[in-house]
Amino acid sequence: MAVNDETGQILLATHEGLFDISHTPATKIGPTNDLMGFTTVHDEGIYYASGHPGKDSALPNPLGLIRSGDGGKTWVLLSRQRESGFHALTTTKNGVVAFDGTLMTSPDGQNWTPVTAGFTPAVLAGHTHSDTVLATTPQGLQRSTDAGTTWTLNESAPVVQYAVFASTNHVVGVQPDGNVQVSADSGATWSSKGRISGGVQAITAVKKPDGPLRIWAATADGVEASADGGATFAPYQPN
């Protein structure tokens, strides 16, 4: 799940492909592929994804890392085709961080360096204009300040299942029970906000310099949204 900074689209990557859910009805974008991992390059309209090809597709399985420069309409194969289905994927100022059973970093999406991390991330969260990366794990929040090369357990942070950067410094996290946590210093410290009802499956958020922190959460019952920094949530109303 992501927000396109250029268009304002709310994007949902699914087992059936990519959808724009900011309008009713939701609009399918591009081909039908199982997009397990999905991330955007902030302010540039570039998407990265990974997963498996759709039915009757001639693409390799798994997809490895693929890239779109036209808002998800078409995709280019970058690397690790038939090798990696990245379940967790994000971008940083210095490239891509991904996990397929091994944590890896890449400056260009083509050349990869394995990272010895000692944990299995559920979600990787980063921002294109920062070298800070967060990894959610059942044991706690792991934090890197060098684009995923080295990691430290943030022992004072809450255990969050989902995390997303809303800006270079603002981060939203959701705990397994749906409680929302917010950080204004790239995940170093956190404050508790409201709660999302229903089982959360993905989140995205945006914080512009002159606006409030806005959050969207895909749940088992639909999409919930907050326009007040996570204090309250209500069913999302598309345009």
Q: What percent of the chain has pLDDT over 70?
A: 100
Distance between CA 160 and CA 189 in Å, rounded?
A: 13
User: What are the residues whose beta carbons fall under 8 Å from the beta carbon of 56, sequence distance 6 or more?
Assistant: none
Q: Reply yes or no on whether the pLDDT at 239 is more than 90.
A: no
| Per-residue pLDDT tens over the stretch 60-110 | 999 999 999 999 999 999 999 999 999 999 999 999 999 999 999 999 999
**Dihedral (CA of 108, 75, 206, 157) sign:** negative
Q: Reply yes or no on whether the pLDDT at 43 is more than 90.
A: no
Distance between CA 52 and CA 35 in Å, rounded?
A: 7
Strand 123-126, strand 179-183: pairing: unpaired
